[in-house]
Amino acid sequence: MKHVLIRLALLLPLAMAALARADWPRFLGPMGDGIASPQEKMAKSFPPEGLKELWHITMADGYSSPAVVAGKVYVLDRPDEGTKEKFLVLDLATGHEDWSVEYQSQAYKKVFGVTRGTPAVDGAMAYTIGITGDLTAYDLPGKKIAWQKSLTKDFGARPGGFGFAASPIVLGDHLIVDTKGSPKSGVVALDKKTGEQVWASEPFGDSLDTHATPAVATIDGVQQLIVAHSGNVEGIAVADGKTLWKYDWKVVQQISEPLYVGKGRIFLMTSHKLGCVMLEVTRGDPWQVQEVFKDKRSGALLSNAIFYKGFIYTNASDKYKLQCLDTDGNLKWEGKSPGNSPIIIVDGTIVMLQGRLGLINLADASPEGYKELASTKVFEPGKGDTKEFLAPLVVDSGKLLVRDLVTLKCLDLLAK
């Protein structure tokens, strides 16, 4: 009994550390919804001197954001804006490089930077999609590439105007990859260990919106991918890739991700002043889709929306407004927008990068009214052809990872 107690005493600190850590293993956080783990805490005000910088690294011009798991930072770079891409693994505490691996990519004519997307980290593996369509799986313990595919050569996908920007998703034993523009498939599911194809959904036609990452939802007991492009919004069964339902969505360009808000409802914003729509999907033979509301009030070019405690928080960048809506479309309030940059919610607080000014702003995530909590400068305003910082924010263990066009910074979110 004594030995058991000693063993438990030794294991307790490790267990507590595991509980305290709130990882960010994929695009838009633990669940892909822009909300940090409930364990994640932060100060609701900033020190007078601003957020303390813990470390920074220089990267190629772009918008790629990192994933963070177990104290390691994973991010894709394109050194010197050349034809090689580089997968970096950094120490979260210090920013020191643990290891990296490069591979030869295709030439890319720079359009608003040369990097996009966020890695997906799953156990001993990680996955990235490069801007020219290189899908790469990494053996993390072996510190090497496990397998590679080309979205263009292997699946016939064609890049949109900003290259391939959607991020990979791990679901169980499968890796989910968007292959828009392909005559053979819309989305493919691959064996995450080998890269072998498991299923492919029907093609999306001529849509080249290779930017929005699919959302995952379970509607009436059926797990499905919600995919949006400038033709349709579609529900695709995770089990076999069959298309369950479609909604006609003729828009100019789809970059903002679909948002599932429960009870079969899906909220979607789009760009070019075309606004938003709330859909309600119900199971049947066939499945049914109807509009709950549709208007031009909450449009967005790049930014996302978040469903938090029963309300939708949108960065409606078409109107440069931060908004709070209920699921019937009633506007609760409007406040200061961070521009086109994405938003996240941490510890009941909306965290946003005001990309044109280099500011981090905090606002209360409450339907009671817009309340700005704090604001501080973390970057000088952008210059050149890409003046707005648009990379998604990442939070892990009280640290905020934020980047401008060429610098990734780690900032202390716990200090007051």
Q: What is the structure's pLDDT at 32?
A: 95
Which residue is it, tokens 């007078």? 48
- Give the pLDDT confidence score for residue 109 in this predicted structure: 83
CA dist 26 and 109 (Å) reads 27
Alpha-carbon Rg for the chain in angstroms: 21
Rounded CA-CA distance 315/184 in Å is 35
Contact in structure between 89 and 99 (CB atoms under 8 Å): yes
The mean pLDDT of the chain is: 90
Check: CB of residue 343 under 8 Å from CB of residue 392.
Answer: no
The answer to whether the CB of 198 falls within 8 A of the CB of 189 is: yes
Q: How far is CA 181 from the centre of its chain?
A: 21
Q: What string of H, E and C letters represents the secondary structure of the chain?
A: CHHHHHHHHHHHHHHHHHHHCCCECCCCCCCCCCECCCCCCCCCCCCCCCCCEEEEEECCCCCCCCEEECCEEEEEECHHHCCEEEEEEEECCCCCEEEEEEEECCCCCCCCCCCCCCCEEECCEEEEECCCCEEEEEECCCCEEEEEEECCCCCCCCCECCECCCCCEEECCEEEEECCCCCCCCEEEEECCCCCEEEECCCCCCCCCCCCCCEEEEECCEEEEEEECCCEEEEEECCCCCEEEEEECCCCCCCCCCEEEECCEEEEECCCCCCEEEEEEECCCCCEEEEEEEECCCCCCCCCEEEECCEEEEEECCCCEEEEECCCCCEEEEEECCCCCCEEEECCEEEEEECCCCEEEEEECCCCCCCEEEEEECCCCCCCCCCCCCCCCEEECCEEEEECCCEEEEEECCCC
Residue bearing the bigger pLDDT, 402 or 321: 402
| Residue 11: pLDDT over 80 | no
pLDDT of residue 380: 85
pLDDT at 143: 98
Query: Amino acid letter at 387?
Result: K
Lowest mean pLDDT among 198-202, 286-290, 344-348, 375-379: 375-379
Backbone angles phi and psi of 80, in degrees to 5:
55, 20
Task: Render pLDDT for 374-388 as a digit per residue (tens, 0 to 9).
Answer: 999 999 876 544 567
**Tens-digit pLDDT profile for residues 89-142:** 999 999 999 999 999 999 888 888 889 999 999 999 999 999 999 999 999 999
- Verify cis geometry, omega within 30 degrees of 0, for the bond prior to 286: yes
Q: Which pLDDT tens digit goes with each residue over 259-314?
A: 999 999 999 998 877 889 999 999 999 999 999 999 888 877 778 899 999 999 99
Q: What confidence score (pLDDT) does residue 209 get?
A: 67
Q: Locate tokens 């700005």: which residue?
A: 372
Output the CA angle 238-240-244, nearest 5 degrees: 70
Q: Amino acid letter at 383? A: K
Above 80 in pLDDT, residue 166? yes
Quote the tokens at residue 179.
């292959």
